[in-house]
Chain A
Amino acid sequence: MCTNYTGFKLLLCCLLLSTVRGWVWECTPAGSCQRRDPHVNDTFFNSLDVCRLVCGDRGNIWPLPANYTTKNKDLVYIDAKNIVFSIDCPTTSANIYLGNVVDYFKDVINENDEQNCSKTKYKLILNVNVANSILILNYKTSEEYSLDITTDSSSKTVTVNIIAVTIFGARHAFESLLQLIETESTADETCFVTLKEVSIQDKPKYKHRGLLLDSARNFLSVEVIKKNIIAMGMSKLNTLHWHMSDSQSFPFVSARVPNMTSYGAYSAAQTYSPYEIRDLLQFAKLHGVRIIPEIDGPAHTGSGWQWGADAGLGDLIVCYNKLPYKSFCIQPPCGQMNPANPNLYQVLGNIYADILDLWTDGLDLFHMGGDEVYIPCWNSSQEIVNYIDNNRSPEAFHKLWSEYQEKALSAFDAVNADATEPSSAILWTSSLTEISHVEKYVPKERYIIQTWVSKSDPLPKELLDLGYKLIISTKDSWYLDHGFWGTTKYYTWRTVYDNTILNDAAVLGGEVCMWGELVDNSNVEPRVWPRAAAAAERLWTNPSTTSIEATSRFFSHNDRLARRGVRTSPVVPKYCSQSHSDCIGYLVT
């Protein structure tokens, strides 16, 4: 810090700095780390992260493992830069994947510098055993793992055994292990430490643990999406729901229908090329994340679809950019697909084919959108009104809508003929999924419904009772865009964490949603993080305890995200994360 100074100023600077206190931390009997003055007691820790590693029964891993025990909480210094890896897995491809995970693991370790470590460093042996050759992450993929750390003092060896069914479980184990290795710094040296004996058996409570990113209202760069994926992997979120297109823009470059981006992208630079998407998919997979694409329809379409008539295909959409917008859609510019035009399904099929070309792991699940269809828009098109024989009743429009769903889904199936079984499609809740007629329009063997209603709304339970599979995005807890427009409220990490969702085998999981009207590269990270991590623990662990009990571990995870370069927001003054128990508003015995 004094590097900018010379001579007298340098001397002064060093003098002043040397007087500034480095804090130490005490692990209190209550199990929390308390900031203390240095040199009071040499059992105190001189690093908050090391104190957090040792202190408390639940350890410091986020999300909380299903089962975490420590037989010996003594610290052991390890030679983290010379780990001996031994990987046992059934196939070469699985081996390659784990090789990449190991590279990632080493990179994270290497972000910390070990300096002049004079302690006796134990050798670290890491054994990974993966039973299964599965390379694809979906609902059938086991993500469970066990991780055991044992220490043998006679041979000065720390052994880590990771056992998992699939490579994805093993990858989660690596994330947990990274959270068990901290650096301990004193004035003279920095060393890597871990605990002597730890045993973890872990698996998620929900299969679908998602974050929605919207790259249509405002463009998000591939780099920024990757930053989010890194943070997702660290928090064991496994699904990126990519809301790729909307009425405002269409950034997905379709090889078969290049007009979509020529007419729909904000600029040629603000697009996702096939190369970029393949790269992103690979990147996500390495971080244990699958990407589910959503081409929203029949509403939330507009920009990108205007070229139909000029190309001789007729109108693919209607009421595009029609004013006053409030009469025809939720937000400008308006636009809705034209289900009366058979060419629409041709174009959709081509777009789906492009997506399937890129998603080389196949798509047993994709998102069809399906929210906020605005009947007055369709009603304003003579072509559509003629198509439904001038019957302008709500039922007629719902029938038309379900006809769209059926034809769009067939267009998908037609280009997905190689699949061994038909894919599932996700639909947002809407007037089509109302309990009174949902079974008529939405076949439950093909569709999963994503609910986005408030906590108190009975709809999820009712849909569940009818036998639908659900993904839940509680609107008044998990909509991360709220608090900046209208009368909506901002949800703190505690609200996000304390939102529990239905517990049933048919509830696949949930998603936090980051809609993009007021978010772009500049502010998406601090708006999503660390709140998405709070939902991650709800979905992975679903603890019976509340955010109160998770507080200090959460602060620790937030620090960890920041250290890894994620632009995550602080949730308290730093004092409260350095000395959490001083900031509790009630007396703790």
Chain B
Amino acid sequence: MKQGELRRTLIVATFLCFSLFVYLYWQQGTRPLHSLVLTYKRIYTSSRKSYPAQWTWHCVNQKCERHIVSEKSIITGLSTCNMLCGSTQLWPQPTGPVTLGSKALSFNHAQLQFANSTLLNEALASFNDTVLSLVRSDVTKRPDLNKFIVRIHITHSAISRLKLKTDESYSLTLKCTKNKEIVASIGAKTYFGARHGLETLAQLIWWDDYRQTLMVLKGATIQDKPKFPYRGLMIDTARNFMSIESLKRVLIGMSATKLNIFHWHLSDSQSFPVVLPRVPQLAKTGAYGPEKTYLPEEVKALVEFARVRGIRTILEVDTPAHAGNGWDWGPREGLGELAVCVNERPWSLYCGEPPCGQLNPENPNVYDVLEKIYRDLLELSGEKEIFHLGGDEVNLECWAQHLQKTNYSDLHDLWGEFTLKALERLQKANDNQPIPHVILWSSKLTKRPYLTKYLNKSQMTVQSWGGSQWSDTPDLIADGYQVLISHVDAWYLDCGFGRWRETGEAACDPYRPWQVVYNHRPWQQFRLNKNQILGGEACLWTEQVDESNLDTRLWPRAAAFAERMWSDPELDTTTFGIQEDVYTRLSTLRDRKSKKSKKSWAKP
């Protein structure tokens, strides 16, 4: 370039800069003066900034220690240090043998390949989402790996429905070939086992904040299967409504921790949000509002969303108690009173919490309505192995005051007969096939002498929710019943927030921190026959919960419960302390999960 050209270019460039400056200055001048002051609208976002490394973690005695970064230090992020130091970072901990490599390799998300796996589209898509959700930036550096191949082999690929006897085991190997290819092979008998394998594989992959890349362990072999077939979580959507979106977040958390049963407590005396095709009157008169409803299609879609994540959905319409709003249309349609003491005041005389309401067992039309409800629930969930009848907290005073011809000397018999009639209608609704496992909440009816009088032990399972020190659970087991454990003093996640009613006591204070949830192991403490224990269920009642705090109230405590049900780790019976690796593994899980979901987990 000649000197003259350079000069001319510079002059033009200077002129352009000057014009730009004048333009900007002019623009600024036309804005009102106060707009230059920071206003309340400017919410600062820090996510785009990048920062230098400040801390590095060193693995010392199988623990990661934090050190300040100096010029000499090798910089290792906390996630990478934890993955390569001491214990596994898997949650729940596998029950079979595990060997893990001590080296890690970096890779790009685009290098993932799935071999011969058309049957697993949904599971792989959700695995892919999980890996993608770890990625924090799209900085592309040359990765250590050339390829990351995921191979899955399923021997019984036709099984598409999870049952209690379904084999959920899997084996996983991770190998690095000479060509710098990682091959992850998952072997399982069923889709559900393979899906669990993918969840475990996802936990061997992490994001390194300092290297700004995805990492994977260089080698691993894992064999794993659950200790209990029923690993449930119950959510109540009647006390306060939860959107489908928020329930999906719950299901994603469940699938990541290998929980496999979503017990959906659909209705209660407060509201009836689900629009049932055969009995739309229930939601019509019982929902909190037109926008606080679940449409049949939405329920079906959610059931499928859960199924592909290895979770079966059990729909519960609680009866004969816990039913009120939504049941007041009987007289208008010539069916008589379907429910009694609905919204009766003062509530404390007729029920445990406001508003009251209980089905009318003397009205034969009630059973016709129940049959229709059961048909709809069976259709919506497609679930024909397990059914939940509800059946808790019947207040006999409500019936005694409101029923016409109470020729029962003991109203428990009325309750028992109601239950038998409901069971009969359930069977009719299921094309006259008996449902193998029908669950009832524990109550006076599930105690002697009514228990053996009304409940058939080959079919009925009792969900035991009383205190763990009560005799309920051991008695049921002694009497030969199958039991599902939901002890209120360990696995009721709603407890601890004081009394919400103006009178009466707090239902079940105090709050149980995750350590209590984790350490609860009644089969060992009371030497119960494990063969009669179907499994356990953590329950979240929602008198004081809605979408604003659903996630934080569930997690990480439901995850602690999940490991108890999947791995059932031994307890240190002298100190009842929790092993240090449990703390680290849980906090790793929390970091992964809170990166994944915006509404994240509460601090453990």
State whether the Cβ of A84 lies closer than 8 Å to any Cβ in chain B: no
Contact with A along B271-300 (1 / 0, CB 8 A): 100010100100111011111110111000
A 564-589 contacts with B by CB, 8 A:
567-576, 578-579, 581-588
Are A586 and B548 also in contact (CB < 8 A) when A22-B289, A23-B289 are?
Answer: no
Residues in A neighbouring B542, C-beta threshold 8 A: 573
Are A22 and B290 also in contact (CB < 8 A) when A269-B46, A575-B270 are?
Answer: yes
Bound: A588/B502 CA distance, A:
13
State whether the Cβ of B239 lies closer than 8 Å to any Cβ in chain A: yes
Smallest CB gap from A20: residue in B: B290
Contact with B along A84-127 (1 / 0, CB 8 A): 00000000000010011001100000000000000000000000
State whether the Cβ of B343 lies closer than 8 Å to any Cβ in chain A: yes
Main secondary structure of the interface of B (DSSP, over half): loop
Residues in B neighbouring A276, C-beta threshold 8 A: 44, 46
Structural contact, B545 and A570, CB atoms closer than 8 A: yes
State whether the Cβ of B577 lies closer than 8 Å to any Cβ in chain A: no
Are A573 and B548 also in contact (CB < 8 A) when A17-B290, A223-B43, A483-B496 are?
Answer: no
Residues in A neighbouring B348, C-beta threshold 8 A: 585-586
* Contact-residue bracket for chain A: 35 or more
State whether the Cβ of B305 lies closer than 8 Å to any Cβ in chain A: no
State whether the Cβ of A154 lies closer than 8 Å to any Cβ in chain B: no
State whether the Cβ of A489 lies closer than 8 Å to any Cβ in chain B: yes
State whether the Cβ of B549 lies closer than 8 Å to any Cβ in chain A: yes
Residues in B neighbouring A484, C-beta threshold 8 A: 496, 511, 513
Structural contact, B280 and A19, CB atoms closer than 8 A: yes
State whether the Cβ of A1 lies closer than 8 Å to any Cβ in chain B: yes
Q: How many residues of B contact A (CB 8 A)?
A: 76
Structural contact, B355 and A582, CB atoms closer than 8 A: yes
Are A1 and B603 also in contact (CB < 8 A) when A20-B284, A575-B325, A583-B354 are?
Answer: no
Structural contact, A17 and B37, CB atoms closer than 8 A: no
Stretch from A139-147, A174-182, A368-376, A517-525 that touches the partner? A517-525
Structural contact, B602 and A522, CB atoms closer than 8 A: yes
Residues in A neighbouring B49, C-beta threshold 8 A: 269
Question: Looking at B288, B292, B545, which has the most chain A CB atoms within 10 Å of its CB?
Answer: B288
Structural contact, A585 and B548, CB atoms closer than 8 A: no
State whether the Cβ of A551 lies closer than 8 Å to any Cβ in chain B: yes
Contact with B along A352-364 (1 / 0, CB 8 A): 0000000000000
Contact with A along B136-171 (1 / 0, CB 8 A): 000000000000000000000000000000000000
Structural contact, B603 and A573, CB atoms closer than 8 A: no
Structural contact, A20 and B275, CB atoms closer than 8 A: yes
Structural contact, B52 and A268, CB atoms closer than 8 A: yes
Question: Looking at A262, A518, A575, which has the most chain B CB atoms within 10 Å of its CB?
Answer: A575
Structural contact, B285 and A267, CB atoms closer than 8 A: no
Residues in A neighbouring B509, C-beta threshold 8 A: 489-490
Contact with B along A270-290 (1 / 0, CB 8 A): 000001101100110011000
State whether the Cβ of A492 lies closer than 8 Å to any Cβ in chain B: yes
B539 CB to nearest chain A CB (Å)? 16
Stretch from B361-369, B441-449, B450-458, B593-601 that touches the partner? B593-601
Question: Looking at A21, A520, A521, which has the most chain B CB atoms within 10 Å of its CB?
Answer: A21
B229 CB to nearest chain A CB (Å)? 32
State whether the Cβ of B499 lies closer than 8 Å to any Cβ in chain A: yes
Contact with A along B504-533 (1 / 0, CB 8 A): 100001110100000000000000000000
Contact of B500 among A483, A492, A518, A588 (CB under 8 A): A492
A283 CB to nearest chain B CB (Å)? 5
State whether the Cβ of A222 lies closer than 8 Å to any Cβ in chain B: yes
Bound: A267/B49 CA distance, A:
12
Bound: A126/B455 CA distance, A:
70
Bound: A228/B45 CA distance, A:
17
State whether the Cβ of A265 lies closer than 8 Å to any Cβ in chain B: yes
Structural contact, A20 and B283, CB atoms closer than 8 A: yes
State whether the Cβ of B223 lies closer than 8 Å to any Cβ in chain A: no
Bound: A99/B40 CA distance, A:
12
State whether the Cβ of A218 lies closer than 8 Å to any Cβ in chain B: yes
Structural contact, B510 and A573, CB atoms closer than 8 A: no
Bound: A283/B275 CA distance, A:
45
Bound: A579/B289 CA distance, A:
13
Bound: A30/B270 CA distance, A:
23
Contact with A along B570-604 (1 / 0, CB 8 A): 00000000000000000000000010000111111
B 39-57 contacts with A by CB, 8 A:
39-46, 49, 51-52, 54-55
State whether the Cβ of B347 lies closer than 8 Å to any Cβ in chain A: yes
A395 CB to nearest chain B CB (Å)? 38
B36 CB to nearest chain A CB (Å)? 11
Structural contact, B346 and A483, CB atoms closer than 8 A: no
A358 CB to nearest chain B CB (Å)? 13
Structural contact, B241 and A570, CB atoms closer than 8 A: no
Structural contact, A571 and B285, CB atoms closer than 8 A: no
Structural contact, B599 and A522, CB atoms closer than 8 A: yes
Structural contact, B68 and A569, CB atoms closer than 8 A: no
Structural contact, A583 and B355, CB atoms closer than 8 A: yes
Residues in A neighbouring B548, C-beta threshold 8 A: 525-526, 562, 567-570
A302 CB to nearest chain B CB (Å)? 13
Smallest CB gap from A492: residue in B: B498
Contact with B along A390-433 (1 / 0, CB 8 A): 00000000000000000000000000000000000000000000
Structural contact, B38 and A572, CB atoms closer than 8 A: no
B521 CB to nearest chain A CB (Å)? 23
B107 CB to nearest chain A CB (Å)? 24
State whether the Cβ of B95 lies closer than 8 Å to any Cβ in chain A: no
A102 CB to nearest chain B CB (Å)? 12
Structural contact, A574 and B241, CB atoms closer than 8 A: yes
Are A574 and B552 also in contact (CB < 8 A) when A23-B289, A100-B39, A282-B40 are?
Answer: no
Structural contact, A278 and B511, CB atoms closer than 8 A: no
Smallest CB gap from A103: residue in B: B39
Bound: A492/B498 CA distance, A:
6
State whether the Cβ of B501 lies closer than 8 Å to any Cβ in chain A: yes
Are A492 and B346 also in contact (CB < 8 A) when A103-B39, A226-B43, A569-B544 are?
Answer: no
B 218-254 contacts with A by CB, 8 A:
238-241
Bound: A96/B33 CA distance, A:
9
State whether the Cβ of A221 lies closer than 8 Å to any Cβ in chain B: yes
Residues in A neighbouring B347, C-beta threshold 8 A: 582-583, 585
State whether the Cβ of B345 lies closer than 8 Å to any Cβ in chain A: yes
State whether the Cβ of A343 lies closer than 8 Å to any Cβ in chain B: no
Smallest CB gap from A518: residue in B: B603
Structural contact, A268 and B51, CB atoms closer than 8 A: yes
Question: Looking at B68, B295, B501, which has the most chain A CB atoms within 10 Å of its CB?
Answer: B295
A 58-102 contacts with B by CB, 8 A:
96, 99-100
State whether the Cβ of A325 lies closer than 8 Å to any Cβ in chain B: no
State whether the Cβ of B404 lies closer than 8 Å to any Cβ in chain A: no
A2 CB to nearest chain B CB (Å)? 8
State whether the Cβ of B376 lies closer than 8 Å to any Cβ in chain A: no
Structural contact, B280 and A16, CB atoms closer than 8 A: yes
State whether the Cβ of B34 lies closer than 8 Å to any Cβ in chain A: yes
Are A548 and B502 also in contact (CB < 8 A) when A17-B293, A21-B287, A526-B549 are?
Answer: yes
Structural contact, A567 and B549, CB atoms closer than 8 A: yes
Structural contact, B271 and A574, CB atoms closer than 8 A: yes
Bound: A491/B67 CA distance, A:
39
Bound: A409/B599 CA distance, A:
42
Smallest CB gap from A227: residue in B: B43
State whether the Cβ of B383 lies closer than 8 Å to any Cβ in chain A: no
Question: A20-B275, A567-B548, A574-B288 provided; 19 other pairs, C-beta below 8 A?
Answer: A13-B295, A16-B295, A17-B275, A268-B52, A282-B39, A283-B38, A490-B511, A492-B498, A494-B498, A523-B552, A526-B549, A570-B240, A572-B500, A574-B270, A574-B292, A575-B271, A581-B345, A585-B346, A585-B501
Ordered nearest first, which 10 A-B pairs have the shortest CB separation? A268-B51, A585-B503, A492-B498, A526-B549, A573-B239, A575-B270, A583-B354, A523-B552, A522-B600, A523-B602
17 contacts between A and B (CB under 8 A): A19-B283, A100-B34, A222-B43, A223-B45, A267-B51, A282-B37, A283-B40, A490-B497, A491-B498, A572-B500, A581-B345, A582-B355, A583-B354, A585-B501, A585-B503, A585-B504, A587-B345
